Amino acid sequence: MAAKFEAENLILATWLMVHRADALLKISEGKLFGEYKLNSERYAVLVTIQYLGGSAKPSEVARWLQRSPNSISMLADRMVKAGLIKRTRDRIDRRVVRLTISDRGKDALKPATQAGWDFIQEILSPLSYEDRRILINLLKMINYKTLEYLNPGADIERMLKDEAKSHNNLMERLVEYLEPPILRAKPQGGEKGKSIR
């Protein structure tokens, strides 16, 4: 009986820590991006548009951010009013609206991205290279089970392969966007020169 209670207590403690870490990271990102007149949502939209080549349909942004098209449309309205993005009509199909980053958005995005990268390095600095790899694998397991829950009967392996491909493309674009030395990990222990990507 005591062993069962301990196991259930550990499950609950794990679940609470995952939620607590997520909440604290969101609060920290809000504070960090606030210094650039952004919030986490606005920053995510800007990064997504940048990743998608500097122009994207709201539905593409919604799919990338796993948000409803309606919520992205409302967020885009506020970002247009703030001067961070522009809505333009597609040259080929005038019915299609595309979101592009304004000069003001670009001026905020680059330093916010740099600050975000510095933040990521600071927060993950207590973890060794091996600890990071273990954490990634653990989070992948949680993601897998969550995707199974949300998409019963779907080909989860295929979904994860597509996500991994998109992730790799995003990392390549971030490397291009930031100065190359920034994305090199500081040597830790016996893992000299290894990147934390």
Distance between CA atoms of 121 and 139, rounded to whole angstroms?
18
Q: Could you tell me the two tokens for 118?
A: 């510095």
* pTM: predicted TM-score of the whole model, two decimal places: 0.73
Q: Could you tell me the two tokens for 175?
A: 């490397």
Cα 8 to Cα 2, 145, 146, 175, 194, distances in angstroms? 10, 18, 19, 42, 38
The 10s digit of each residue's pLDDT in 133-146 is 999 999 988 988 88
Q: How many CB atoms lie within 10 A of CB 153?
A: 6
The 10s digit of each residue's pLDDT in 43-84 is 999 999 998 888 999 999 998 888 899 999 999 999 999 999
**DSSP conformation letters of 151-163:** STTS-HHHHHHHH
